[in-house]
Structure 1
């Protein structure tokens, strides 16, 4: 598998899931070669591009035009022919997919509709599929956990704090701490 470094991505001013968090979050999805996955709130596309190197099919949803354009640039740079990029609001776009369609869903951004996005994503996820979400705030982490518990997910919460040295020195600077929430869908949509 190919791991892509942060500095390899075309960035602009769009937020990006950093390398260590990206790799750990994707590992929680337990992807296989045959997996079909969805990235909601895809930002620069760093998660989508990385996942496309690991599985059959990736669909990225992004509502911001500048971020959408960056995803397309990164898709082309890394030759991700199995990555489809959709410009649109998450809920509206999610409602266009059939139920039980994805093996994994990553939610990196919600635009303030977190609970509803999780509920609709639940319906789009196949039985035993995995959902993984990233948060900076404890408030959103809590909302996600409560929503997933109400849908009968057994959840796992991981907090990641990454520090890196500055320009070859021994001084470290810290990125924002990230909460990674993951769960497996145990029930079918009925």
Structure 2
């Protein structure tokens, strides 16, 4: 991607215009005048057709869209226009281009977003509705939002998205959820289709559609709890898994915050990475795992639990695999704690204020944590969990292996 433009005397030259299905008729006089004054216009084929007549040089967005940015930036100072659907700053080109062009050099003329139009059609309060996009994103991205009674508005990738979402809902125990497809809102082709996820109408759907979901959870539905420590059954694993109770304490010790990056060293099933990302939509994790079969399992678990794009896999053995990775806000070491130099490498990788948490169940791992505690301080604790289980015809406590946990914040 191109570098942001350097500051210069502010003079708007780039116009970003949201255009609806009503085309030119829906534009304000100022937006229409800016479009007429532009010498070059970029947009999708549909946008350019809606904006006719145009006298400017026109360009269809390439794929990937970022390939157009150098040519746009090269026109600095010349009247240029970018066309987008609805509100360009809500999952649109506006937010991307504003990272490259100083806002003082941009004029923007947004239209109602698809979310606003859909809420108006349905009578839903937008402030109480989750707004998501599946445009260019994995379908399972909606999984964390599937909460009983929730209302979701989802930007579809194309005409196949509603049926794919309906199938996902049925598979996960939400078959009675109501889906409403709102096609080409605001224009002559507008159409609304509704039905339950089970038996959702099979018909051709316009690629330009927004999907509304009223979530109904059946008994036993796979609802992701909002608390840390998901049940172990949520994760495909080979036994190399931080168990639910220990995971809940570990997440608390890591102290996740919005937009933070985690290194999950010796990630196993990826449970810590995944739950880190579930804490906030902007959180990201790098799952470092040496064994290829576990690496593949992490990818499947991340997809199944709705964070496939935010858990990135680094296949390799630490500390070698840590070289060149982005600086983390926090590091969890769940495997290989006793490997020579690993904890030192993790401490060195953190920025000031960064957080390191390491768990050990072996005597060798515990010795490494005791040494680190003695050298640099921090917090050291032992965690123990016992669960009731059958003992003959009676019930008794069965103790899990105790976990030694060391937590440290870099000065």
1:125 aligns with 2:353: no
Contact 1:14 / 1:67 at 8 angstroms: preserved in 2? Answer: no
Contact 1:61 / 1:90 at 8 angstroms: preserved in 2? Answer: yes
Deviation at 1:138, TM superposition (A): 3.5
Contact 1:2 / 1:53 at 8 angstroms: preserved in 2? Answer: no
1:154 aligns with 2:377: yes
Q: Which residue of 2 aligns with 1:96?
A: 324
Q: Deviations over 1:78-104 (max 9, x none)?
A: 111211111111112111225xx1111
Where in structure 2 are there 5+ consecutive unaligned residues?
A: 1-225
1:19 aligns with 2:244: yes
Q: Could you tell me how far apart the structure 1 residues matched to 2:360 and 2:336 are?
A: 10
Contact 1:145 / 1:155 at 8 angstroms: preserved in 2? Answer: no
TM-score by length of 2: 0.41
Q: Could you tell me how far apart the structure 1 residues matched to 2:278 and 2:387 are?
A: 26
Deviation at 1:106, TM superposition (A): 0.1
Q: Secondary structure at the match of 2:319?
A: helix
Deviation at 1:171, TM superposition (A): 2.4
Q: 1:6 aligns with which of 194, 209, 232?
A: 232
Q: Deviations over 1:1-31 (max 9, x none)?
A: 44321111112x2411100101101111111
Deviation at 1:141, TM superposition (A): 1.9
Q: Which residue of 1 aligns with 2:51?
A: none
Q: 1:174 aligns with which of 368, 389, 399?
A: 399
Contact 1:41 / 1:62 at 8 angstroms: preserved in 2? Answer: yes
Q: Which residue of 2 aligns with 1:58?
A: 285
Is the alpha carbon distance of 1:112 and 1:154 closer, same or farther for their aligned partners in structure 2, counting shifts above 3 Å? closer
1:70 aligns with 2:297: yes
Contact 1:91 / 1:117 at 8 angstroms: preserved in 2? Answer: yes
Q: 1:85 aligns with which of 300, 310, 313?
A: 313
Deviation at 1:136, TM superposition (A): 0.6
Contact 1:95 / 1:120 at 8 angstroms: preserved in 2? Answer: no
Q: Could you tell me how far apart the structure 1 residues matched to 2:256 and 2:291 are?
A: 27
Q: Which residue of 2 aligns with 1:141?
A: 366
Q: Secondary structure at the match of 1:166?
A: strand
TM-score by length of 1: 0.86
1:109 aligns with 2:335: yes
Contact 1:107 / 1:134 at 8 angstroms: preserved in 2? Answer: yes
Contact 2:337 / 2:360 at 8 angstroms: preserved in 1? Answer: no
**Which protein is bigger by CA-based radius of gyration?**
2
Contact 2:373 / 2:380 at 8 angstroms: preserved in 1? Answer: no
Query: How many residues get paired?
Result: 179
Query: What RMSD in Å do the two structures reach over aligned CA positions?
Result: 1.9
Deviation at 1:166, TM superposition (A): 2.4
Q: Could you tell me how far apart the structure 1 residues matched to 2:240 and 2:406 are?
A: 19
Deviation at 1:112, TM superposition (A): 4.9
Is the alpha carbon distance of 1:103 and 1:148 closer, same or farther for their aligned partners in structure 2, counting shifts above 3 Å? farther
Q: Which residue of 1 aligns with 2:41?
A: none
Q: Secondary structure at the match of 2:341?
A: helix
Q: Secondary structure at the match of 1:43?
A: coil
